[in-house]
Amino acid sequence: MTGVRETRPRAARRWAIDVRPLRVPAYRRLWLGNTVAMFGFQFTAVAVPVEMYALTRDSFWVGLLGVAAFVPLLIFGLWGGAVADARDRRAVLLGGSLLLWASTLGLLLQAVLDVGSPVLLLALMALQSVAFAISSPARSAMLPRLVPEDLVASATTLNYTTFTAASVAGPLAAGLILSASPDTTVVLPIAYGLDAVLFTAMLWAALRLPSLPPEPTADGQARRAGLASVVDGFRYLATTPVLLLSFGVDLIAMILAMPRALFPEIAHERFGGGGSVGLLYSAIAIGSMIGGLTSGWIGRLRRQGLGLVLAVVGWGLAIAAAGLAHQLWLMVVLLAVAGAADLISAVLRQSMLLVYAPDRMRGRLQGVNTVVVAGGPRLGDLRAGTMAAGFGGGVAWVAGGLASAVLVVVLAVAFPALLRYRAATASSDNRT
């Protein structure tokens, strides 16, 4: 009986999320500030497309929000990664966060004044994207210097899980606010205002971080954050085909199978609008959160390449199935399944980047990762909105999911390096 009592906690720990990184004070503050800020950001993430659709009644304009966000990400994400390798990462994070806060205040102001300009919304989204592109590489690249290397995967999983938890609660709360009144001039300022207030937690966390200057170079010269530095990062990435393929499958999944731009239209046509749009925006995150809370096994996965491919294929198939659903509960469940698959793929890809890349390259690789992770869904918004304008929201949704799953299989078979990839060291459960 004693043996049974001891085995059960071990089995639970093998599946439960690892919270040991929270024992590190600097990481704990960053995690807390980022979690609160991301909860607030979800109010804006829902309010902006809802406002755009209310102004234009056209999913194509909602899709254009993706273009407005992607172009700055492409330019400033790569540059922001180079800056994160050449400057104090704490200072870079703080500067980008202040700019992001300013863009949120701009959204609040235009809502209060009831400007009603789709073009202004696009411009503010572009500014917000610039700020995110500057701050995100620094925030991600600093992780291996805040926690021991053996806790990087656990800290990465914690980041994704708490982000998805915020992505569940945030859109649900936003949906309740937006459905409280049909008058958008009343509810939109509340949503943007809450985001602005909650984002101050991120500013506090950045201020409390220790200084994180770049590590000295072999020749003692200072690093520069110019075009040559960006090119050097791509040159390094070109020598790691597994990482290139991991970016490729993620881009396919996000561009072809991200249905986010269709949520306002589908919620309006199939479910009568109201709070249903908040449920749709929360559904993927619900699945990711559940996947994260039961993620203890991911760190012990040896065949990480195969796991990544299977997770991305599962995402595409679950998205396609969700597009066929005409019951709200079924659509939410299938989107949640897709979210769990997305959590697995994200953790595997990010852990590879952080552990195997040298510190001098982490910022630039995280800059590329920012472009892929944040830019891919925005291109997906454009793809979905354009297809919906020509063929309808349902066709755009289902066809994209199926095409994603098929193309990922084709890519993995044509370039089997990713399928053959295994973790560099044997997995072990140090917590048992």
Query: Could you say which residues of the chain have pLDDT below 50?
Result: 1-8, 425-432
| Fold of the CATH domain 226-424 | Growth Hormone; Chain: A; (1.20.1250)
Amino acid at 264: P
Please tell me the predicted confidence (pLDDT) of residue 225.
Answer: 56
27-72 tens-digit pLDDT: 999 999 999 999 999 899 889 988 988 888 887 888 788 788 878 8
How far is residue 143's CA from residue 27's CA, in Å, rounded to a whole number? 8
Backbone angles phi and psi of 325, in degrees to 5 = -75, 140
Please tell me the predicted confidence (pLDDT) of residue 2.
Answer: 33
Please tell me the predicted confidence (pLDDT) of residue 330.
Answer: 94
Helix axis angle for 59-86 and 359-391, nearest 10°, is 170
Number of residues in the chain:
432
Please tell me the predicted confidence (pLDDT) of residue 196.
Answer: 94
How far is residue 382's CA from residue 404's CA, in Å, rounded to a whole number? 16
Backbone angles phi and psi of 310, in degrees to 5 = -60, -40
Residues of CATH 1.20.1250.20 domain(s) within the chain? 22-213, 226-424
How far is residue 81's CA from residue 106's CA, in Å, rounded to a whole number? 26
Residue with tokens 């966390």: 205
Handedness of CA 243, 382, 160, 7 (dihedral sign): negative
Structure tokens that stand for 174 in this block: 């936003």
Residue with tokens 């209310």: 54
For residue 344, give the nearest of 378, 405, 303 by alpha carbon: 303
Please tell me the predicted confidence (pLDDT) of residue 14.
Answer: 63
In Å, what is the CA distance from 12 to each residue of 295, 296, 428?
11, 9, 15
CATH class of the region 22-213: mainly alpha
Q: Give the angle subtended at the CA of 28 by the CAs of 22 and 29, to the nearest 5°.
A: 170
Structure tokens that stand for 351 in this block: 């852990």
130-178 tens-digit pLDDT: 998 888 888 888 888 888 877 777 788 888 888 878 877 887 788 888 8
